[in-house]
Homo-oligomer: A and B are copies of this chain.
Amino acid sequence: MSSNFLNALGGTRLYPLTDRQLSKLSHAEQISQLSAGGAKVVQLREKSLSPLEFYREAEAAVRVARECGLTIIINDRVDIALALKADGVHLGQDDMPAEAARGILGPRAIIGFSTHNVEQAQLAAAMPVDYVAIGPMFATLTKQGGYAPVGLEELNLVRQAIGGRPLVAIGGITFENSLSVLSAGADALSLIRDIWIPDGQASNRTRRLLHRL
């Protein structure tokens, strides 16, 4: 089960997220930019739209992802992912249980799960999820639910705690610290601010980052 996610990454180590607070582009346009920059797997995250508006945005984004050959993961809403035949969902600690999501999405869907410390990561490793996300790695301005930064030392403990399960690091990751996070045990990096800031355009920074990783 674990290999679905790594297969989709196809050797890349970047798993960027869309963000309508940091970019004025629609989710679909953001997907298009991330694809142009070389990303293979992207996550659609949306916290402020109504379910209907999110559905419409996600519908357009899934269409673009299909055209570009991208793997697209939907944050939180399992029903929207299922209805649009997206490739999977990303669930947080407060979302519906991974077991329930697996039950309705089936064995081929990619399911990711957010954790914020070693204990949560250990629990996640026993769940039917394809990857474990850990964060925030460093202090960040992007909302992370009030958890303390994990840091490289605890990341290494998480790596050991979850065995071979794919591990995604998120939160406060920049061009500068990216390699150290991979060295400490992450399989892939979720960047948000450092690819969308300063101008809401991400294709060039995505390309430069993928060269670096």
Contact = CB atoms under 8 A, between A and B. Distances in A.
A82 interface: yes
Nearest to A58: B96
A192 B37 CA distance: 52
Contacts of A183: none
- The DSSP consensus for interface residues of chain A is helix
A80 interface: yes
B96 A51 contact: yes
B101 A83 contact: yes
Contacts of A51: 76, 94-96
Interface in A103-121: 103-104
Contacts of A93: 52
Interface in A164-184: none
Interface residues of A, number: 22
Contacts of A55: 96-97, 100
Interface string A35-56: 0000000000000001111010
A77 interface: yes
A189 interface: no
